[in-house]
Homo-oligomer: A and B are copies of this chain.
Amino acid sequence: MDSPADTTPLAALLAQVPQPEPGRRKGALHGSTVAKLRNLIVTGALAPGAKLNERELCLQLGVSRTPVREAIKTLTQDGLLCALPNKSSVVAELDVGEIEALIDVVSTIEGLAGELAAARATDEAVAEIGMLHYRMMLHHTRDELPGYFEANKAFHRRIVELSGNPVLLWIWELLALRVDRARYSSNLWPKRWKMAIQEHEQILAALTAGDAALASQRLREHVRNGLSGLVAALKDKAAKPDSA
């Protein structure tokens, strides 16, 4: 009846997304549709458990069912949607247990990334990551949540890239989708920010020193701390459901 999703002002949210001009080139619909839909899910605009009606999405997104169906398939594979045969796909539940499972995997993955990155860290690469760190701090001082998120993610992403391992980056991107979802879901937890910034600086130091073991350990613990805080926030939120 009145699942959370039914009250979502979907049209308004979609209006914010820049619509591709009618004079667009061929082959861009799939990608853009995936991006739009993914954004709606990750940011929580489409609530967990919400049913996706293909025809309705077509109208909202202004495309035919083909790209919509492809996007649904793609996001199902990414684990953001759940699909049952002959039934509407639904937005995957944001299970706290699953996020706890994410902790072990993401921390291990980023730990490996740190280990490999430290061995390949040039001054230039470290400087670039440092810049991302300062950008994050800037957004922090300004209380700009989206910018903070973005810079934080870029910081971590750059380290994974620096590892030079394309498979690692691929896996990390997949995991990052779920982490982002959890982040958006648990409204900001500013307590954690200061600690995160300190940890980033220590990670940078380890990379600068080229100390693989230390970089690995610090990244592992940093990720573990962050995600654990996230789980705590989510459990808190679950305890007192709608104390806005």
Contacts and interface: CB of A to CB of B under 8 A. Distances in A.
Contacts of A82: none
A134 B74 CA distance: 38
Interface stretch (A13-21, A51-59, A138-146, A169-177): A169-177
B174 A171 contact: yes
Given A70-B73, A74-B73, A77-B77, A102 B26 contact: no
Interface residues of A, number: 31
Nearest to A169: B101
Contact of A104 (B69, B116, B178): B116
Contacts of A98: 166-167
A187 interface: no
A168 interface: yes
A105 interface: yes
Given A70-B73, A73-B73, A104 B168 contact: yes
Interface in A73-115: 73-74, 77-79, 85-86, 98, 101-102, 104-105, 108-109, 112
Nearest to A178: B167
A106 B191 CA distance: 35
A165 interface: yes
Given A73-B73, A73-B74, A104-B165, A170 B109 contact: no
A22 interface: no
Nearest to A166: B101
12 contacts: A26-B85, A27-B86, A69-B70, A70-B70, A73-B73, A101-B165, A101-B166, A102-B167, A104-B167, A105-B112, A105-B165, A167-B175
Contacts of A175: 167, 171
Contacts of A112: 104-105, 108
Nearest to A112: B108
A93 to B, nearest CB: 12
Nearest to A25: B85
